[in-house]
């Protein structure tokens, strides 16, 4: 018997393969052995600072390692993932994994939800769960598709014989959506790297009719004065500048030496926990549970995601980097919505963001950080549905 929400629209051009997560016991045992045998760094002044000014602390790493070995249960995560319909489909020779909730309504609106780094499709499961609790397959107003980007989790890695960029990701996802029967139109939503992919879909692909983002990568726009900014907007700009100065070292490493850092973090799960765990601690408004951090790191480790996922950072090095969102080539002429969360890495003023596209919707929030879909799924869901209801009837 098929899962609820698993019947694809009759317009689908492909028959994707149903997918179930089933990690072999031997792989789990190997991971546990590596965790147990992993040596930690000696105590230093830097790793003893409780405010994490120099990165994760020894105490935090010791505690998380113990939880990983003693209380975390991958099977619980696996069961939760498998409670959602999943498939794989071939696009341009890549095997693309995706989670989906498909409606039986003939006028359901297709929406593709696009994650970034160090995230995965896991980020959107809380929102999908809200939708499936609120609706039945017969009443769901949307088709919701959450792909794993090439190189992430259960999707194939990018090709080994040529360069692969966010523009390539956008082309692959556009083809996936058209293959699923949505050539006449769909809406894209994205954060982090997913925001660049979603912007690329809106700019370069006709079938993408509108886009909703919760982060905007851009420089200070020309001709925009800061004189009229309020205190919170000024604080947001300060946060962006502090991140560029003190928090972006990882991106420089990803972009300039992806092979080296890929090899380093592919050898030791506790090293991976330190490198990525730092982001789950620093980039949020309120602390996430240890359970979430461990399941995300475990998923990355078991699927060898890290070395395969950081290729997009190379686009920023050497100069000229990938065009910023306020580059005229990246201007969104289609309906554009944005959700503002104050603890984003770069919580930018509306006056800045609206220079990057035809901004018709703005959602302002008092709480929330970089992982909005995970931290504030109710707020992001509400914004997305309001945006879709506003723009879809007028989309050509």
Of the candidates 110, 169, 116, which has an alpha carbon nearest to the alpha carbon of residue 145?
A: 110
End-to-end CA distance of the chain: 38
* pLDDT score of 219: 84
What's the pLDDT tens digit per position in 289-335? 999 999 999 999 999 999 999 999 999 888 666 667 778 889 999 99
What's the pLDDT tens digit per position in 102-115? 999 999 999 999 99
Q: What is the CATH number of the domain that holds 314?
A: 3.40.50.1820
Per-residue pLDDT tens digits of the chain, which is 396 residues long: 689 999 999 999 999 999 999 999 999 999 999 999 999 999 999 999 999 999 999 999 999 999 999 999 999 999 999 999 999 999 999 999 999 999 999 999 999 999 999 999 999 999 999 999 999 999 999 999 999 999 999 999 999 999 999 999 999 999 999 999 999 999 999 999 999 999 999 999 999 999 999 999 888 888 888 888 999 999 999 999 999 999 999 999 999 999 999 999 999 999 999 999 999 999 999 999 999 999 999 999 999 999 999 999 999 888 666 667 778 889 999 999 999 999 999 999 999 999 999 999 999 999 999 999 999 999 999 999 999 999 998 654
Is the dihedral angle over the CA atoms 176, 395, 355, 382 positive or is it negative? Answer: negative
* Kind plus residue range of the DSSP H or E element containing 53: none
* pLDDT score of 328: 84
* pLDDT score of 51: 95
What's the pLDDT tens digit per position in 199-224? 999 999 999 999 999 999 888 888 88
DSSP H helical segments within the chain, as ranges? Answer: 25-37, 58-70, 74-82, 125-134, 166-179, 193-204, 231-242, 249-256, 258-265, 269-282, 290-302, 305-309, 350-353, 372-375, 377-391
Tell whether omega for the bond before 320 is within 30 degrees of 0, i.e. cis.
yes
The answer to whether 211 and 336 are in contact (CB under 8 A) is yes
Residue 281 CB: number of other CB atoms within 10 A? 16
Longest dimension (CA), the chain: 62
Distance of CA 175 to the CA centre of its chain: 19
Of the candidates 321, 242, 296, which has an alpha carbon nearest to the alpha carbon of residue 120?
A: 296
Provide the number of structural domains found in the chain: 1
Boundaries of domain holding 198: 1-395
- Which residues pair with residue 88 across a beta bridge? 17, 97
Distance of CA 3 to the CA centre of its chain: 25
* pLDDT score of 321: 67
Q: What are phi and psi of 210, to 5 degrees?
A: -165, 160
* pLDDT score of 324: 72
DSSP for residue 244: I
Name the CA dihedral angle for 364, 366, 372, 373, rounded to a multiple of 10 degrees.
-80
pTM of the model: 0.97
Of the candidates 214, 343, 332, which has an alpha carbon nearest to the alpha carbon of residue 287?
A: 343
Percent of the chain topping pLDDT 70: 98
Just list the catalytic residues.
192, 313, 370
């Amino acid at each position: 018997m098929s899962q609820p929400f698993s019947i694809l629209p009759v317009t689908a051009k492909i028959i994707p393969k149903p997918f179930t997560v089933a990690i072999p016991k031997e792989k789990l045992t190997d991971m546990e052995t590596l965790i147990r045998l992993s040596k930690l760094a000696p105590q230093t002044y830097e790793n003893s600072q409780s405010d994490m000014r120099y990165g994760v602390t020894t105490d935090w790493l010791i505690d998380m390692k113990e939880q990983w070995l003693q209380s975390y249960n991958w099977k619980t995560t696996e069961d939760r993932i498998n409670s959602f319909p999943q498939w794989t489909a071939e696009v341009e020779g890549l095997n693309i994994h995706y989670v989906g909730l498909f409606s039986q309504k003939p006028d359901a609106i297709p929406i593709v939800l696009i994650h970034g780094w160090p995230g995965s499709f896991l980020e959107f499961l809380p929102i999908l769960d809200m939708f499936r609790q609120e609706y039945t397959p017969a009443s769901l107003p949307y088709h919701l598709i959450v792909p794993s980007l090439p190189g992430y989790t259960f999707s194939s890695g990018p090709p080994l014989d040529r360069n692969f960029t966010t523009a390539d990701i956008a082309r692959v996802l556009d083809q996936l959506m058209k293959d699923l029967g949505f050539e006449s139109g769909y809406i894209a939503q994205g954060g982090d790297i997913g925001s660049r992919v979603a912007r690329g879909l809106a700019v370069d692909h006709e079938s993408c009719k509108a886009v909703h983002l919760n982060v905007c990568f851009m420089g200070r726009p020309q001709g925009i004065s800061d004189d009229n900014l309020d205190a919170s907007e000024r604080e947001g700009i300060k946060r962006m500048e502090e991140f560029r100065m003190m928090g972006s070292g990882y991106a420089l490493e990803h972009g300039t030496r992806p092979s080296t850092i890929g090899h380093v973090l592919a050898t030791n799960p506790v090293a991976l926990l330190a490198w990525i765990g730092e982001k789950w601690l620093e980039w949020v408004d309120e602390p996430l549970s240890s359970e979430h951090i461990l399941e995300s790191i475990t998923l990355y480790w078991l699927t060898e995601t890290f070395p395969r996922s950081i290729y997009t950072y190379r686009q920023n090095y050497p100069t000229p980097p990938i065009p910023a969102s306020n580059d005229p080539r990246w201007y969104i002429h289609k309906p554009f919505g944005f959700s503002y969360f104050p603890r984003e890495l770069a919580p930018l003023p509306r006056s800045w963001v609206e220079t990057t596209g035809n901004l018709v919707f703005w959602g302002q929030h008092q709480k929330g950080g970089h992982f909005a879909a995970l931290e504030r799924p109710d707020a992001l869901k509400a914004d997305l549905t309001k945006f879709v209801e506003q723009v879809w009837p007028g989309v050509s």
